[in-house]
Amino acid sequence: MTGAGTTNRTAHLTEAAKDLREQAAERLADTVETLKPHLAAAYDSALELASEAGEQAKQKALPVVATGAAYAAEKAGEAKQRALETTGELSESLTAKAKRRKARRKKIAAFVGLGVLAAVAGIVAKKALGSSNQWETRVEPTPPMPEPDAAPPSVPTPGVARNDEMDAQVGDSAEDLAGQTLDDPTN
């Protein structure tokens, strides 16, 4: 009996759960039907409030956006003016550099032109005067030095008399020195 009582109880509970589910579904359907108009009204009200808030935000933001646009346009104009001034300065600087380079090129061209003219004048002068491959000098050679008549005087050696004059000047000291030797420490 315990087995049959449990089965009865389970069947009874299953039946009760089924009934409760059906009742909950009916109540839920009734509640949804009751709330549908309220939800539609809340949705419409939210849309209306959002639209009004958007309009208010637009009205508040419009002057701010216009001020921001005016400020941005002013700054863009200033930036454009600075850019034009800078490019003008750069253009002037580049123009001045180009003028200096052009003047330098003209000077170099004039120098080269003068060099070419000088070379042409030299060639013409050479042809006009006659070309000569031999160099002629008009410098006369210096005459040779005359040979000395007498032999050069000899260098006197110590202790030897060269002539009488020297003997008179040196005197007896030469005779005294001739007898001495360098190794003899006694004299």
pLDDT at 1: 46
Quick one: average pLDDT of 91-104?
Answer: 89
pLDDT at 161 over 50: no
In a domain, 151, yes or no: no
Residue 148 lies in a domain: no
* Interatomic CA distance for residues 31 and 35, integer angstroms: 6
Give the integer Cα–Cα distance in Å for 124 and 117: 10
Confidence of residue 102 (pLDDT cuts 50, 70, 90): very high
* Residue 166 scores a pLDDT above 60: no
Please state, in angstroms and rounded to a whole number, the distance separating the CA atoms of residues 51 and 60. 14
Residue 28 sits at the vertex; the CA angle it makes with 23 and 30, to the nearest 5 degrees, is 95
- Cα 160 to Cα 172: distance, rounded to the nearest angstrom: 12
State the Cα–Cα distance between residues 144 and 45, nearest whole angstrom. 139
Residue-number span of the structural domain to which 44 is assigned: 8-97
Contacts with 153 (C-beta within 8 Å, 6 or more apart), sequence order: none
- Token pair 């933001």 is found at 61
Contact 161, 175 (CB under 8 A): no
Instruction: Count how many domains the chain has.
Output: 1
Does residue 126 fall inside a structural domain? Answer: no
Question: 125 in a domain, yes or no?
Answer: no
Q: Is the pTM of this model over 0.75?
A: no
- pLDDT recorded at residue 181: 56
Domain annotation covers residue 156: no
105 domain residue, yes or no: no
> Considering the domain boundaries, does residue 184 fall inside one?
no
- Amino acid identity, position 124: V
Question: Does residue 115 form part of some domain?
Answer: no
